[in-house]
Chains A and B, each alone.
Chain A
Amino acid sequence: MSRALLDTAATALLDDRRPLTADELSSLAALDESAVPSLAALAHEVRLAWCGPTVELEGIVSAKTGGCPEDCHFCSQSARFATPVKATPFLDMDEIAAAARETEEVGASEFCLVLAVRGPDLRLMDQILRAVALVRATTSLNVAVSAGILSADQARALAAAGVHRYNHNLETARSFFGSVVTTHTWDERFATCRLVRAEGMELCCGVLLGMGETPAQRVELLGQLRDVDPVEVPVNFLNPRPGTPFGSRDLVEPLEAIRWIALLRLALPGVILRLAGGREVTLRELQALGMTAGINALIVGNYLTTLGRSPEEDVRMLADLRMPVGALSKVL
């Protein structure tokens, strides 16, 4: 049974180059755990066929931390929850430049400035634009920004400033979103995603798995990601944060994480699929298996408020896997 499903998926994606249907993805999602390595192997083959062997590295920094008015139940930066994260204003430009240099030194090609906000106001936009100009002037990094919900004018200004990619995650399926966030809607996120593309930036639109969504809702999310048509999909796994409503949720099991990495690749064969937050605590010893389950990009080093493993470990892992590091942007 599982072999027939995998063969059909392989023919579709490798020979016919046609997308899998929602029913096919649901069937693959329901495969027995013993079939996950085979699923991962197919996803790796699809990734190589559609994207090539290159892996893109990215560093991120929280340019403005905490104090966010939104209530994303997974996030330690919401002002609505009593978390250990103390709000801090926009980083000094010297700190931004230092973080960018650190990113460049590890061989990354992407640097993302992330702000904990609903959306930027005039003052924040000015700070973001100055930071973008600084990073572009002092490094060879491609600059991405994640600053919440945008207006058309803001999206246009960011694109004009040379922001080549904008991150705005769907996080979860539309049918589950109301259990995660109540201060804005899934449709508002979707609208910003469309705006980003309309203004000529690459869309980076990620997911956060492990918040209590069902497998059917994950398959629903795969379809919704297709609808928004991102260039990059960061794959985050819930790392339960103290003080948040999801602070006591269980981690996704490592092999289950591999299953969904593979399914993301099979659903979105041409995207930059980036292993992102929560990977260390979720995958544990299976980091390399993640790389051979359809992943072709990594966030290296620390995250926004938590730490990652050392970039050197990741670079060594990629060398061992014979995966070259490089840029995958389509607009630069």
Chain B
Amino acid sequence: MAHCTGCGRADCDGSCRRTLDPPRYCPVCGRRLNVLVTPRRVEARCREHGPVGDAMGDAMGDAVGDAVGDAVGDAVAD
């Protein structure tokens, strides 16, 4: 993974990510994501790389999804 989904920086280990924050930056290119937050869902999408995570069908409290580390506050595992 090249970029932190919390701050978008390439040199961040993901520790910037705050509890219960959805991903905000594309882990591939670091662009800001279009993020949809509804009562039960979170969907994050990069205009270049498409959906981030596992489409977050029911992502309550587990905002990040596999592709970005699969744990709130632990956004960049790779």
Q: Which A residues are within 8 Å of any B CB, using their own CB?
A: 59-62, 65, 84-86, 88, 91, 95, 98-99, 102-103, 106, 108, 239, 242, 280-281, 300-311
Q: Which residues of A contact B18 (CB under 8 A)?
A: 239, 242, 281
Contact A306 B20 (CB under 8 A): yes
- A interface footprint on B31-62 (CB within 8 Å = 1, 0 otherwise): 01111111111100000000000000001110
Contact A102 B38 (CB under 8 A): yes
Tell me the nearest residue of chain A to B44, going by C-beta. Answer: A86
Contact B38 A307 (CB under 8 A): no
Contact A95 B24 (CB under 8 A): no
Contact A84 B37 (CB under 8 A): no
**Given A86-B33, A88-B34, A242-B7, A311–B39 Cβ distance below 8 Å?**
yes
Q: Which residues of A contact B60 (CB under 8 A)?
A: 301-302, 307-311
Contact B39 A300 (CB under 8 A): yes
**Given A88-B34, A302-B42, A307–B61 Cβ distance below 8 Å?**
yes
**Given A86-B32, A280-B20, A306-B20, A98–B38 Cβ distance below 8 Å?**
yes
Contact A102 B61 (CB under 8 A): no
Contact B32 A103 (CB under 8 A): no
Q: B13: CB under 8 A from chain A?
A: no
Q: B63: CB under 8 A from chain A?
A: yes
**Given A61-B38, A302-B38, A307–B33 Cβ distance below 8 Å?**
no
14 contacts between A and B (CB under 8 A): A65-B35, A85-B24, A95-B36, A99-B38, A102-B39, A242-B16, A280-B19, A301-B38, A301-B40, A306-B20, A307-B22, A307-B42, A307-B60, A310-B61
Tell me the minimal C-beta distance from B20 to chain A in angstroms: 4
Instruction: Give the interface residue-count category, chain B.
Output: 20 to 34
The docked-state distance in angstroms from the alpha carbon of A106 to that of B58 is 13
Tell me the minimal C-beta distance from A166 to chain B in angstroms: 20
Tell me the minimal C-beta distance from B35 to chain A in angstroms: 7
Q: Which residues of B contact A303 (CB under 8 A)?
A: 37
Q: Which residues of A contact B21 (CB under 8 A)?
A: 306-307
Contact A306 B22 (CB under 8 A): yes
**Given A84-B25, A86-B34, A307-B60, A281–B19 Cβ distance below 8 Å?**
yes
Tell me the nearest residue of chain A to B5, going by C-beta. Answer: A84
Q: Which residues of B contact A307 (CB under 8 A)?
A: 20-22, 37, 42, 59-61, 63, 72
Q: B8: CB under 8 A from chain A?
A: yes
Q: B65: CB under 8 A from chain A?
A: no
Q: Which residues of A contact B35 (CB under 8 A)?
A: 65, 85-86, 88, 305
Q: Which residues of B contact A98 (CB under 8 A)?
A: 38
The docked-state distance in angstroms from the alpha carbon of A59 to that of B14 is 30
Tell me the minimal C-beta distance from A85 to chain B in angstroms: 7
Q: Which residues of A contact B38 (CB under 8 A)?
A: 61, 95, 98-99, 102, 301-302
Tell me the minimal C-beta distance from B55 to chain A in angstroms: 14
The docked-state distance in angstroms from the alpha carbon of A182 to that of B33 is 29
The docked-state distance in angstroms from the alpha carbon of A59 to that of B38 is 8
Tell me the minimal C-beta distance from B76 to chain A in angstroms: 14
